[in-house]
Amino acid sequence: MEKNKMTSLDNKNAFLELSDIVKIYGTTIANNHVSLRINKGDVLGLVGANGAGKSTLMRITSGVTTPEEGTMYFDGEKINWKQFSPTTASKKGIRVVYQELSLCDNLKVYENFMVELRHLFKGFGWRKKAAESAKEQLERVFPNNGIDVNKELSDLSIAQQQMVEIARAFSDPNLKLLILDEPTSSLPVEQTRQLLSYIKKKAKEGITFIYITHRLFEIMEITNKIYVLRDGKVVHSCDTSETNEDNLIEIMSAGANTVQVRKTEKARTEAAKINENVYVNCNEVSKGVLKNVNCKMYGGEIIGIAGLEGNGQKELIQAIYELPFSLRKKIDRKGSIAYVTGDRKAEGIFPLWNIADNMVITFLMRKSLFAYNSPKNVVEKSLKWYDYLKIKGESPKAKIVSLSGGNQQKALIARAMIADADIIILDDPTRGVDVETKRQLYDLFRDAAKSGKLIIWYSSDDSELDICSRVFVMRFGTIVETLKHEDISKDSIIEASFKSSDNKKERLDNTKRQFNLSLLIPILAMITIYTACGIIQKSTFTLFGARLLISGSLPLILAAISQTYIIGFSHVNLSIGNFMGLVSVLAATLLYENPALGTIAIIGVWLAYGLMGLLIRRLNIPAVIVTLGFSFVWYGSALVLQSIPGGQAPQLLIDIFNKTIFGFPNVLVILVLATVSAVMVYRSKYGTVLRGFGNREQSMVRSGWNKYAAVFNIYMISGLFAVLGGLSFTALTFSADASSMDSYTLLTVASVVLGG
């Protein structure tokens, strides 16, 4: 590996210095002796094609990845790679906004702020503090953003999620270096302008930035220094004032075919030759945000869908693709269809599959159900597009997660092309894709249209829609203007986007809080069943009747709470029933005969339950497999202690679960306390963190949380409720049976699923 030769920049008082960084993945050299220097207050632009090594270098800088070779100095201190992690990077003031968002979909907006900046929100009332802080920071960076910080992140659009991620990074009062990897890839024009303005402001205050994007006009506007990476090496570095977009494109593409990209794009699609055998007709389509949408599209056309973010564009293309039953009379569609999603991580890639399988899956679905799929045929099908789109990976057989974000996007586009569908819907397909690949994709879309296919293309970058035959501009859920041929330009799209506003206050999202009626269904169902039982047997409504009902269900309720924590962590525990059976046997044998020894034994198996979680994480084996194996360990241990039903419940245990307090059955009090405790843990700061781990572990690790501590703690919390369930069973039945609680395992899964 040769060391890079690079143009020397002013390195006086270098704030960040990376020297000869080398990172290798298998046969791929992601970073090949990369060196760069940044001064305090600089905005450094880092550019290069997909797979050039930009994101890898930033993961190294932020402590996520450790290099094989090289040194790093930050703020005058040499970094010790062995001790450098996302946590230590965060403490030093290094923050990253990743191209693939590192937020947790199942948490609310303000909860996502808390998990990243936990030291700012201490003590009681942290939720209110976090919500206020999140709202204030969002307003600072993106004025009038319209985001409700009390909403779950999954309820927000991709653009809004990106705004949350960016604002969260800026919230750190200790911020010194902010790395922004494709921060505007999904942002509307106005929010992009707001972000660039805010970066300029913070740079003047001494914050240092590394700005990564394929939108070179942003690089020219916002940065003062530029580094160009190609094939893992720094091939050029200069002051921004010394270069231009055309020069950067030439350097990135090694001088090949460096005619101005926009000039190429301006060679628009020729007048469309209509293919009337392929079409989509929308007639008064109204559903959700969509209001009376009328349009006709035909094969041979490239139809652009534009407008301000959140005005129904995505809902329209999804309705066309999914063709819901309620709209089948409103949307007339002819031709096979394929869809390229805009959220590749959540809806696009199959992370456990290789690149080839990801590319051909839609094609294979069109074959008969039990048709044989030759592995050789799969590779051959994918190899053509793998080479054509210049996907940078080891081979089509490599895992798709080994690719950079832009190369993953290429694989998804190849999926639609391999399927050879008549109608191809593109949801922001060029997001995170480099300039040269964009040009290649534009040509690909033109060729597909010329062959008679209908291309329906939604893009958050209005400037690239000028290759379209027509552009439908949407506003408040309807099409307010149709632009044709030479009328299509970025300016005309923006102008049309503000039409028919009727002086309505523009918001990206309706922040009115809505109550989720589905939460009432389990409660109403329980009340209905209880009432029906009372009508049949009136003693059901007495305290005695309530005690009998609760006593019989208490062990299962505690077991279900235990399973809830595990499922919330994205695991499934198939050993809960037998674990509770072991605890029940211990209570009826050792605890009865020798309370001290029995207590130690129960605490011991509880600890073993937590260690089971650690084993799952350490060996990276699916929880279903490990817990199924442990179910036999628990069951076998119980049989060794007590091979047949019997034993005796300790008197203290009987009293705790069978007496009354102020006229109320103890079991009712225990049930209430257990439920309240479960809710308190769920809503606590660390409970929120554990829920975040269940949704996106990598994001939580990047935020500085320990994955081993998380899995151990969640299993210990789950185990505590399982222990209580086992003890309650012994106390209420006055004995124990090793096999009596085996059925509880599947019942807990059913309880959690049915309970929502």
- Residue 444 in contact with residue 424, Cβ under 8 Å? no
Whole-Å CA distances, 125 to 120, 136, 212, 683, 685? 12, 17, 37, 12, 11
The model's pLDDT over 591-649, given as tens digits with 9 standing for 90+, comes to 999 999 999 999 999 999 999 999 999 888 889 999 999 999 999 999 999 988 888 88
Least confident segment among 27-36, 55-64, 299-308, 356-365: 356-365
Which single residue is written with the structure tokens 């010394």? 242
Share of the chain above pLDDT 90, in %: 23
Structure tokens at 97: 């906004």
Residues of the chain with CATH 3.40.50.300: 14-255, 275-497
| 235's tokens | 């091939």
pLDDT digit string (tens) for 67-92? 999 999 998 889 999 889 888 888 89
- Indicate whether 255 pLDDT > 70: no
Q: Is the pLDDT score of 496 beyond 90?
A: no
The yes-or-no verdict on residue 441 having pLDDT over 80 is yes
pLDDT of residue 372: 66
Close Cβ partners of 259 (under 8 Å, ≥ 6 residues apart) = none
Give residue-wise pLDDT tens across range 568-593. Answer: 888 999 999 999 999 999 999 999 99
Average pLDDT of span 126-146: 90
Q: Please state the pTM of the whole predicted model.
A: 0.73
Q: Which CATH superfamily is domain 14-255 in?
A: P-loop containing nucleotide triphosphate hydrolases (3.40.50.300)
- Kindly state the DSSP code that residue 5 receives in the 8-state scheme: P
- What ranges in 25-85 are assigned the alpha helix state H? 54-61
- To which CATH superfamily is domain 275-497 assigned? P-loop containing nucleotide triphosphate hydrolases (3.40.50.300)
The tokens describing 570, both together, are 């994205």
Q: Which of 160, 181, 166 is nearest to 404 (CA)?
A: 181
pLDDT band at 406 (very low <50, low <70, confident <90, very high): confident
Asked if 471 and 459 count as a contact pair (C-beta separation under 8 A), the reply is no
Rounded distance between C-alpha atoms, residue 386 and residue 390, angstroms: 6
Could you give the CA distance from residue 26 to residue 421 in angstroms, rounded to a whole number?
Answer: 35
Reply yes or no on whether the pLDDT at 325 is more than 80. yes
Handedness of CA 306, 310, 316, 321 (dihedral sign): positive
Q: Give the integer Cα–Cα distance in Å for 154 and 136.
A: 21
Strand order in the sheet with 331-334: 290-299, 275-287, 331-334
Q: What is the CA radius of gyration of the chain?
A: 30
pLDDT of res. 4: 42
pLDDT interval class at 1 (50, 70, 90)? very low
CA–CA distance, 517 with 190 (Å, rounded to integer):
35
Task: Tell me which amino acid residue 79 is.
Answer: I
* pLDDT above 70 (res 502): no
Distance CA 700, CA 705 (A): 6
Tokens 């300016």 belong to residue: 491
Report the alpha-carbon distance of residue 658 to residue 734 in Å, rounded: 10
The total of other beta-carbon atoms located within 10 Å of residue 528's CB is: 10
Top-confidence range, 22-31, 317-326, 356-365, 559-568: 559-568
Cβ neighbour number for residue 388 with a 10 Å cutoff = 13
Distance of CA 356 to the CA centre of its chain: 23
